[in-house]
Amino acid sequence: MTTPLIGTSWKMNLTPSLAAAYCTALRALVADVEDRTLFVLPPFTAIPAARAALAGSNVAWGAQDVHPLDSGAHTGDVSAPMLADLGCTFVEVGHHERRRDHREDDELIARKVAAVQRWGMTAILCVGETSKTTIAAAEKHVSDQLRRAGEFDIARLVIAYEPAWAIGVGAESAPSDWVAGVHAAVHRRLENLTGGRSVPVIYGGSVDLDGAAPLLATAGVDGLFVGRHALTAEGFARIAHTPPVGGAPEAAVAPRT
């Protein structure tokens, strides 16, 4: 496995002022984390504050969505060059809440991936089934969602497996046999489409401190995508410090002196 990727999307939470405080605290709390790639995805309005607080640190920042075109008459939208200019490394596309609330389909999402990659950033493409039926059905669903993946720049692509039924308040993380099955299917599908090249596949959906270590130890899981349990800097820092299962217990989360 490559260096685990551990990140959070704040969704529609935290003002720019709160983002500045979060990122300043996070920078100190995770300064000792060397074996993970960390990122935060604030709302658009808070990206400048995140950049100001995180520049030169070991935490990357990015965005939760993007318009497929670079400029034009698209009121309220934000384009990839705007995000690149803010130093974004990662841009999430195709989250379940965007598919659900904004009727985004795989065609539009593929154009968004292309826009992100055209501007030198890495697209985090979210896939996942809506309801919980069988692992085989979930595997088929995500394989279908990935049918355009052969067109993408594999070097700038991360897949996030996020079953919709595991996301949000009241939900629970998918069990590890489920996650292992679907991640294996995603890896197989991507290898077929890319002539054997590997792409990181991270898991999201009710990831918390207790679930983080077993998920990181699950075959085919290259990282974690955290929502509500990383809405404080301390919460995210604890998950970022999760030791591997069977690894040495981690020291308390504290800034490096």
- The single residue among 5, 6, 7, 9 that binds ligand PGA, judged by CB under 6 A, is 9
H or E element in which residue 20 lies: helix 16-29
Contact partners, residue 131, CB within 8 Å, separation at least 6: 164, 165
Which of the stretches 19-27, 73-81, 163-171, 182-190 binds ligand PGA when contact is defined by CB under 6 A? 163-171
We find the least distance from the C-beta atom of residue 148 to ligand PGA, in angstroms, to be 21
We find the least distance from the C-beta atom of residue 215 to ligand PGA, in angstroms, to be 12
We find the least distance from the C-beta atom of residue 116 to ligand PGA, in angstroms, to be 17
Written as one string, the DSSP assignment of 120-173 is TPEEEEEE--SS---HHHHHHHHHHHTTTGGGS-GGGEEEEE--GGGSSTT--P
The rounded distance, in Å, linking the Cα atoms of 120 and 80 is 9
Using the minimum distance from each CB to ligand PGA, give the nearer residue, 16 or 168: 168
Contact partners, residue 5, CB within 8 Å, separation at least 6: 36, 37, 39, 158, 200, 202, 222, 223, 224
Q: Do 184 and 205 form a contact (C-beta atoms < 8 A)? A: no
Using the minimum distance from each CB to ligand PGA, give the nearer residue, 145 or 206: 206
Using the minimum distance from each CB to ligand PGA, give the nearer residue, 125 or 193: 125
Q: How far is CA 182 from CA 141, 174, 225, in A?
A: 10, 10, 16
Residue 181 contacts ligand PGA per CB under 6 A: no
Using the minimum distance from each CB to ligand PGA, give the nearer residue, 168 or 175: 168
We find the least distance from the C-beta atom of residue 93 to ligand PGA, in angstroms, to be 13
Please work out the total of residues on this chain that contact ligand PGA, with binding judged by CB under 6 A. 14
Q: Which residue has the tokens 């999201």?
A: 204
Nearest residue relative to ligand PGA (C-beta): 227
Using the minimum distance from each CB to ligand PGA, give the nearer residue, 183 or 193: 183
Q: How far is CA 254 from CA 27, 29, 257, in A?
A: 11, 5, 9
Residue 64 contacts ligand PGA per CB under 6 A: no
Instruction: Enumerate the active-site residues.
Output: 95, 162
Written as one string, the DSSP assignment of 49-83 is HHHHHHTTSSEEEEES--BSSSSSS-TT--BHHHH
We find the least distance from the C-beta atom of residue 57 to ligand PGA, in angstroms, to be 22
**Binding string to ligand PGA for residues 193 to 232, with x set by CB under 6 A, is what?**
-----------xxxx-----------------xxxxx---
Instruction: List residues near ligand PGA by CB under 6 A.
Output: 9, 162, 167-168, 171, 204-207, 225-229
